[in-house]
Amino acid sequence: MMAHPDDAEIFCGGTLIRLAELGWQVHLATAARGDCGSMDLSREEIARIRYDEGVAAAKSIGGTYHCLGLSDLNVIFDANSNRLVIDLFRQVNPSLVITHPRNDYMLDHEQTHLLARSACFAYSVPNASELPLLAGAVTPYLYYADPLEGCDPYTGQWVEPSVLIDISQQIQAKSDMLACHASQREWLREHHGMDHYIHSMQHHGQIRGKLAGCAYAEAFVQHRGHPYPQDDLLSELLGGIHTTDTGEKA
């Protein structure tokens, strides 16, 4: 559960690919529709383009894309948005959720963190939604991906992950997923001063890979509060690497 189209591809696409390779059903969901992701097009025009890009990226790994339809720069944790995410989770019945960290470079990400965390806790509660409760619904495993550039924006310090996932064999497929979001290269170049859209993603993967002792990696912090599962499912499934395994710190 991420804020915008292309966020999942940047922050956890390689891990999603590895899960898909194991036969998992993968769902990419965004709170916002990407309607501010253009310097030239109208909200409706760019939102349509970005929806199609999200569908194409998810389809490239056999996944499904969902969009809650909120507006960019207006993702807010309120009753309506909370209900939208709970209802989505009620339909998808997730057993593992990846979302943004609590501290990130923009509030859409931080508010999506709150929405995803709320839905993880609430969706299996019988009276939390009018939609039917599916069999097997429980509090899912919850992981937080890196913030942008891997740094806490409030301290400037690198976030130390609880687990690193080797995505060296998936980096090309991850790059292909991100390339589906062609509309964003020009936007990031003009607004953020970022060119080399895919290269920037790969470079961060190399930084996390160095920490993990491999070519490319993605970093996560597991949420371990009550009543969330305490075992590390990503590590069990994908052979996760910990900083104690490498003898290094971020």
DSSP-assigned letters across all residues of 207-245: HHHHHHTSS-EEEEEE---TTS--S-HHHHHHT-B-HHH
- Whole-angstrom distance, CA of residue 209 vs CA of residue 191: 28
What integer best gives the mean pLDDT of the chain?
94
DSSP H or E segment with residue 85: helix 79-92
The reported pLDDT for the residue numbered 17 is: 98
Contact 235, 157 (CB under 8 A): no
Flag whether pLDDT at 182 surpasses 80: yes
How would residue 249 be classed by pLDDT, with cut points 50, 70 and 90? very low
Q: Count the alpha carbons within 13 Å of 117 in the hemisphere toward its beta carbon.
A: 18
- Given this model, what pLDDT does residue 98 score? 99
According to the model, what pLDDT value does residue 11 have?
A: 98
For range 177-204, the mean pLDDT: 79
Q: Which domains are present in the chain?
A: 7-245 (3.40.50.10320)
**Mean local confidence (pLDDT), 100-129:** 98
Burial pattern 199-237, b for ≥16 Cβ within 10 A else e, equals ebbbebbebbbebbebebbbbbbbbeeeeebeebbbbeb
Residue 117 has pLDDT above 70, yes or no: yes
Tokens representing 170 are 């998936």
Question: Tokens standing for 230?
Answer: 């305490």
| 93-104 residue pLDDT tens | 999 999 999 999
* Identity of the amino acid at 51: Y
* Inter-residue contact 15 to 237 (CB < 8 Å): no
User: Mean pLDDT across the stretch 222-243?
Assistant: 96
pLDDT tens for each residue of 35-86: 999 889 999 999 999 999 999 999 999 999 999 999 999 999 999 999 999 9
Q: How many residues does the chain have?
A: 250
| Contacts of 144 by beta carbon, 8 Å cutoff, 6+ apart | 98, 99, 100, 101, 102, 113, 220, 221, 222, 223
User: Which band of pLDDT confidence, cut at 50, 70 and 90, is reported for residue 246?
Assistant: low
Q: Provide the 8-state DSSP code for 2.
A: B
**pLDDT computed for residue 187 by the predictor:** 66
pLDDT digits (tens, 9 = 90+) for 130-173: 999 999 999 999 999 999 999 999 999 999 999 999 999 999 99
